[in-house]
Amino acid sequence: MNKLILLLGVCLTLSAASSAQEPPQVYPTNWWVGMKYSTPELMIHGKDIGKAASVIVTYPGVTLADWHHVENPNYLFLHLHISPTAKPGIINIRVGSTIIHYPLFARRSGNGTEFAQGVTSKDFIYFLMPDRFSNGDPSNDRIPGLKDQSLNRDSIYLRHGGDFQGIINHLDYLQSLGVTTLWMTPVLLNDMPNRTEHGYAFTDHYTIDPRLGGPQLYKRLADSLHQRGMKLIQDAVYNHVGIYHFFIQDLPEKSWLHQWPKYTQTNYRDQPLIDPHASDIDKKTTSDGWFTRQMPDLNQDNPDLAEFLIEHAIWCVEAFGVDGWRIDTYIYNSLDFMNRCNKALIDEYPRMTMFGETWVHGTANQAYFVRNNLHIPFKSNLMGATDFQCLFSGIQGAIKDTSEWGGGVSEMYNTLSNDFLYEDPMRNVIFLDNHDMTRFFSQIGEDVAGQKMGIEWLLTERGIPQLYYGTEILMKGIDNPDGWVRLDFPGGWTGDSRSAFTGTGLSPDELAVQQVVRALGTFRRGSSALKTGRMMQYVPRKALFVYFRYDARQTILCAMNTGMKPADVDFSRYSQRTAGFTEGVDVVTGQHYPLGQKAEIPGRTMWVLELRK
| Alpha carbons 568 and 574: distance in angstroms, whole number | 13
CA distance 486 to 464: 23
Q: Which helix (H) or strand (E) holds 62?
A: strand 62-69
Distance of alpha carbon 458 from alpha carbon 513, whole angstroms: 13
Nearest to 487 by CA among 435, 433, 446: 435
User: What is the rounded distance in angstroms from the CA atom of residue 203 to the CA atom of residue 137?
Assistant: 23
- Among this protein's residues, is 461 annotated catalytic? no
- C-alpha distances out from residue 551 to 113, 123, 464, Å: 28, 17, 17
CB burial string 185-198: b at 16+ within 10 A, e below: bbbbbbbbeebbbb
Which candidate in 204, 270, 307, 357 is catalytic? 357
Task: Write down the catalytic residue from 148, 328, 488, 610.
Answer: 328
Active site residue 328: yes
H helices then E strands: how many in the chain? 18, 26
DSSP helix, strand, coil percent of the chain (3-state; round to 5) = 30, 20, 50
Closest by Cα among 464, 455, 396 to 588: 455
Which helix or strand (DSSP H or E) is residue 516 part of?
Answer: helix 508-525
Return the HEC string of 29-57: CCEECCCCCCCCEEEEECCCHHHCCCEEE
CA–CA dist 432, 399 (Å, integer):
11
What residues act catalytically?
A: 328, 357
